[in-house]
Amino acid sequence: MPIIINLDVMMARRKMSLNELSEKVGITISNLSILKTGKAKAIRIETLEAICKALDCQPGDILEYGH
To which H or E segment does residue 3 belong?
A: strand 3-5
Confidence of residue 14 (pLDDT cuts 50, 70, 90): very high
Mean pLDDT for the chain overall: 94
Q: Which DSSP string do the residues of 8-52 spell out, in sequence order?
A: HHHHHHTT--HHHHHHHHTS-HHHHHHHHTT--S---HHHHHHHH
Confidence of residue 9 (pLDDT cuts 50, 70, 90): very high
Kindly tell me if the per-residue pLDDT of 65 is higher than 80: yes
- CATH number at 3-57: 1.10.260.40
Domain ranges of the chain: 3-57
